[in-house]
Structure 1
Amino acid sequence: MELRHLKYFLAVAEELNFTKASEKLFISQPPLSRQIAELEEELQAKLFIRNNKKVELTEAGKYFEKETKELFQNLERISTKTKKIAENVSGEFRIAYISSIYSSVISDLIQHLKAQFPYVNFKLFEVSTTKQIDALEKGKIEMGIIRSPIHSPKIKSHLWFKDGFSLVYNKNTIQIKSENDILKLKDETFVFFNKDYAPHYHEVLLELCAFYGFSPKIIHEANNINSIVQLVKNGLGISIVPSNIAKNNPDSEIGFIELKKVNLFTNVSIITAKEDESEITRSAVEFLLPQRR
C-alpha cells in the first residue's frame, strides 16, 4: 500500500464519482479504477458499491475514509513540526519527570537546551512513571525521566543512575541512631507513595520493610515525594525515600539513614521514543547521562 493509493481513494470517496475524481487527480479513469481495485485487493475489503447510476461507500469504506483522513492530518502535523524544529524556528519539546528527581538538575537541563535551541518552547510536567510511559507512547511528550523497569517496544531507555533507599524521619519526634535500630520503628506511622500512583515503587518499599522484619503501618499516602517529606517534617510519620532525596535535602529538622544492608535499588532512566533522532532529544540525553548522581 502506498500513499498514492490512499490519495486516490480519498478523491473517489469525496466525489463519489470516478470521472470527477480522475479529473481532480489529473489522471485518466482506467488507471484510477485499477488503483482502487489494487487497494481493495490488498485490504481484502470492498470499499465502494459501484453501478451504472452511482458510487457509494460501503461500511468498511466509510471507516477507512475516516481513518485515512486522520492519517493524512497527522502526517501534515508531523511534517510541519519536523520542518520547524529542523529550522530551529519554533516548536515544542515536552519533558516529564518524577517528583523524586532533584529539581536543580531539571533546571540546568532546560538552561542547556534553551541556549542551544532559543526558539523552542520547553514544557515541564511532573508525572508518574506509568503515565509517562503512556504519554510517550502516544506522542504527548518527547522525553521522560522515570523510576522502575520499563517494557515497551516503542520506547528507548537510557539508564541514568541506580538509586538506593534511605529512612527519613523527624529528629524532634523520632530517636534513632543507626540502621540497626530500624526494627524499633515497626509500630510507627508510615507515609508511603500511593500504590495506584506508583505500584512498583510501593511494592519495593514493602519489600524493604519485610527485610528489616516488620510490616509498615501505612496511615498516610501521597503522590509527590516533596509532600511525603513535608508530612514527615510535620511529625505525621516516617518514610523510606530514594537516597537521591537525602543527598539534596538540607533541612536540619529531618534525618536520613541510608539503608545499606539491603541490596535493593531502583533504576532512574531517561526515556525517549524509539524512532526519535531529533537534535534536541540527543542533546538532552547527552547532557544528563554524564551527570550520574
Structure 2
Amino acid sequence: MELSHLRVFLEVAKCLNFSKAAEKIHLSQPAVSIKIKSLEKHLKVKLFNRSQNKLELTKIGLKTKEISENIFSEIRLLEEYIQSEQNKIESIKIYFTNTLPKELISNVILFIENSAIDKFIVDYQSLKSESEIYKKVITNSNSIGIVSGYNYTSGIKTIPWFPQEIILYSNKKKRDIDINTIEVKNLLKMNILFPEIDSIEFEIINRRLEILGIKIEDFINRKHISSNLIESLVYQSDWMGLSISNMYKESNDSLLNEKRLDQFCIPFSKYLITNSKTDDKSVISKLIELSAKQINFFEQLISSRNDLDEIESKYDKSIIPIKNIYSINKINKNNESKEETLNINIGVQVDTIQTSIASVVPEKLDLMNLFLDDYKSSKYNKVNTKWINHSSALPIITKLMNGDLDIGIVGDYAISYLANQENKIANNLVLVSFVSINPEGSGSNLMLPKDSKISSLIEFKHGSKIASPYLSTAYGSLLYNLEKENLIDKINVEDCNIKQLNDLDRSNLDALACFTPFDYLLESKEDYQILNETISAPLSYYGVIANRNILESHEVVVKAFIKSLICSKYWFYSTPDSIKKISNWTGVNENIVNSILGSRKSKDCHYMHDLSIREDWIDHYCSKIYIHPTNNISANKNNNKPLIFNDLINESYKEVNIFN
C-alpha cells in the first residue's frame, strides 16, 4: 500500500464525489477510481457504498478515514520537526591552551566558517592545560580541542590540523639561482627574509636550524618581517624568504619559486581532537571529512611514486611522518655542567644503493637528530651520531660482533650469518627493521673476463675460482646457485674487495660475483662482461641490526634511527628529484640509481623501500636459501633465524604520527 492511495482515499472520503476529489488533487476521475479500487483490493474490503446518485463510506471506510487522518497528522508533525531541526543553529565549542598562537586559532575558525554547510555558532575557550581539553571534549560531543600530539585515548578521535612545512621563496625573474640544488648552508651569505623574531613561524624555523647546528646569527644578511609579507616582498625584490606554508596549499608558479629544502622535509603540526560519539551528520564530522580528503589527496600524489602496489605492506600507505611543532629545548640547569657525550656508531655502505634510505639520505638530511634532540638522560647531555662508511658487509659484521658498532645496515646473507654464530654473539645482535626488499631476488650477476667463452654457471670447470665480497648479498646468492647446481664442492669461492680490483690477482680468476651497481661499473670501466645467466637468490632484503647493549640501555636512540628511516622514505617518495640527489651524494650514475630504486619495469634488480620485517621471507631465506660459508667446515646444518624485535618499528610509526 502506498501513501498516495491513502491521500486519494481521504480526499474522496471528504468530498464523497470522485469528480470533485479528482479536481482538488489534480488527477483525472478515472485515475482516482483506479487508486480507490487498488486500495480496496489491497485491504480486501469495501470502503464505499456506491449508488446511482450517492457515494457513502462503509463502516470500515469510516474507520479507515479516521486512521488515515491520524497518519497524515503524524506525518505533518514529523515534517515540522525535521524542518525545525534543519533551521536550528548548531553550536561548536573550540578548546585550546592559553599558549596556543593566535594564528592557529584563527586558522581553525576560518576553516570552519569557509567549509561548513550548516548554520552554526563558534564559541571558543582557553584552558590552562591539554589534560583539561581532553576532559572537556570527552564530555561534549559537539566540541573540538587543539592539542600538540597524536592521542590514543578511548573516546577521542585525532586528526592532524593541516600540517605545515618550511618553504624557501625566491623571485623567478630577478634571481639567477637554481633553487632545486640549494641547501641551507648556501643561504648563509644571501639576502634572506625571516618571520618576526617573536612569531611562532620564526620559533619553528629557528628550532630546526639549531638541530642542524646552525645559528640564526650565521645568516649575515637577514631581515625579520611579518610572515604575511614575505611572499609579496620576495616577488618585488631580489631577496629570498624562509617562511611557513600549509603543505596542501597550491603554489602560484607564475610568481615565485617555492621550494621545500631537503633538510626541512618533515612536516609539523598541531592536532584536532573530537568526541568519538560525535554525530556523523554534524558540522564537526563534515570538517573531519574535509580534512581527511585533503590528506588522502596528498598521500595519493606521493603514493603514485611508490612501487609497493604488488607487495602487501603494513605501512605502505602510511608514509607521511609528522613532527610535533618544534619547541625550544629547555636544558635542566642541573645537567648543564655535565660534559659526557654518548657516541653512537652506525655502519653503512654508501655505495650500496639498495640501502640509501638508511645511509646517505638520513645522514645528509640530519634526520636522526630530529628525534634525538629532546633525549637527555641522567648520564649524558649530548648524543653524537657517527655514520661510518664501509666497502662491504664483512667489516660491518666484524665490528657489530666486537661491539665497535651500535647499529649496522647489512643484507640478507650477512643477517643470516650473524644468526648462525655462537649463541653469545647471535643473542647479542637484534634485527629491528627492514630497509629495502626485492621479491624478484638480489640482482646479483657473474662478471667474466671479456675473452671468456663461458655462457652458463654449469660450464665452470672443477677447481675454477670465483671471487666475491665475503658475506655480501652476492656471496650468498652465489653459494645458493652453486649448491643448486651441485657445484659447491667443485668451485673455489674467494673473498675480494670490489673497490680495490687493482690489488686483486686476476691472473687465475675465472669470474667475479657482485650485485648492482658494481656489475654495471665493472662492465663500463673494467675488462669484464656480464654473464647472461643471473645468479640471484629468489628474494632479497636488507635490514637494520642493533647491538643488544645499545638497545637495552638506550632504546630511544635505536627508535630515533628507525624514525629517521621513516622520514627518509617519505623524503624519497615526496621529492621529485630524489633519484638525482642520491646519485650526486653517492657518486653512482643516475641511470644506475634509477635502475635500482626507480619504477619497476620487469624482473630486475629493483629494490623497494619497505621497513616492515617480513618474518615469512626470513623463514624462507634461512631454511631454503642460506648456505654456510664454504670456509666454515663445522657449520651447523640446522640454520638459525636472527633474533627479531618488531616492537620498535611499530612504536616508531606511531610516535612520528603517521596518517593512517
Q: TM-score, normalised by structure 2?
A: 0.23
Q: TM-score, normalised by structure 1?
A: 0.45
- RCO comparison, higher one (Cα < 8 Å, 6+): 1
Query: Whose radius of gyration is greater, 1 or 2?
Result: 2
